[in-house]
Amino acid sequence: MTGLLVNINSSINPEGIVKGEYTDSWVYSYVHDIPVYLVDPDTMDKICPPEWSSGIPLEKKKGLDEIIDSFLNAPGEDIDEELDRVFRRIKEFRRTFVCDGVFIDQGPGYIDDHSVKYPAVFVTPERIHESSTKISRDTGYDVETVFRGLMKSAITHEYTHAFNWKLSNGVNTRRYSEEHVKIIEELIAQLTSYSNLSVMYRVFFTKKSTSQPLEYNTWKPFTALCRGFYSQCSYDLAYLWSKYMIRNKKPPIFEAISPLPPILLLLSAPIDPFILHELSVVFGYHRFFHRVIEPFIVRLYRGGRLDVEKYLKVLALLLLERAG
């Protein structure tokens, strides 16, 4: 079954200009049976209420960094309790945002008298066109070109959530409300979108991200880490995250491969502290690693191996600190 692009009630029908483009990504080949429905903003707000899409405004980053730095420099005796406290504080920074798109694994069978097949992706062209108009003014590109790029990035983003849903057997959607899971999940979706865009479309995507919440900007440091192999990097990261790490499992690939490709450093750190050190060098954290992270990480180890869940929470904090 080929991918579907169905207009339910959007006033904009972009099928003719985007259908061939949104299928041009590695993720499409895995989720081509999942339809994409185009809906107007009111319908989107019913499918994805603003409270579902809460995020951390970029202007709150300074206050957030102070909380994260305080924790890393003096994490206290009870790591579990301290991590819970930090993420409760982070949750206080969240504000509601409206959705441009969303992946839903199950829902009502009919929307506005249209039969809907789940799982499904929903996208609101009106909101994407509004963003396109603003970016067109800023960049000098025509609105239609910007719109095509942002439509492709929005669909690819939601398809990545669908891929992770398939590979994790739904664990990513069930755990999405957990702060650290949401941060890493959005990193992967954003990086995959960026990876499958042309150079020109990446300009629009980057511009759009400046108006999005902080957790949608964690992908930027990874453009250097991928060293040009963007599609392969995003696939490796999505695969290892959804297949293993989100389930607190150790990826068996790490038992046999060394040295690892740069992107795999991210998820190999729970197995080898040396790799975490190398990752800190890539991110520009070398001195910070030896001063703060090294003694801190030692406290997370049990029986010679880092607790995966705690590592992912610390990783999410570091991602937020480097975002923006």
- Mean pLDDT, rounded, for 177-183: 92
Q: What is the pLDDT of residues 187-214, one digit of tens each?
A: 999 999 999 999 999 999 999 999 999 9
Quick check: 260 pLDDT over 50?
no
> What pLDDT score does 263 carry?
40
Instruction: Please state which of the ranges 118-127, 184-193, 285-294 shows the lowest mean pLDDT.
Output: 285-294
The band of 241, judged by pLDDT with boundaries at 50, 70 and 90, is: confident
The band of 73, judged by pLDDT with boundaries at 50, 70 and 90, is: confident
Q: For the chain, which residues make up each domain, given as ranges?
A: 5-322
> What pLDDT score does 157 carry?
97
Element (H, E) at 30: helix 28-31
Quick check: 302 pLDDT over 60?
no
- Mean pLDDT, rounded, for 1-17: 75
DSSP 64-88: HHHHHHHHHH---S-HHHHHHHHHH
Which residues does 169 contact at the CB level (< 8 Å), separation at least 6?
Answer: none
Give the C-alpha separation, 231 to 236, whole Å: 9
Quick check: 100 pLDDT over 80?
yes
> What pLDDT score does 48 carry?
92
Instruction: Give exposure, 23-48, as e/b (b: 16+ Cβ within 10 Å).
Output: bebbbbebbeebbbbbbbbebbbebb
The band of 246, judged by pLDDT with boundaries at 50, 70 and 90, is: confident
Residue 201 tokens, joined: 């479309």
The band of 267, judged by pLDDT with boundaries at 50, 70 and 90, is: very low
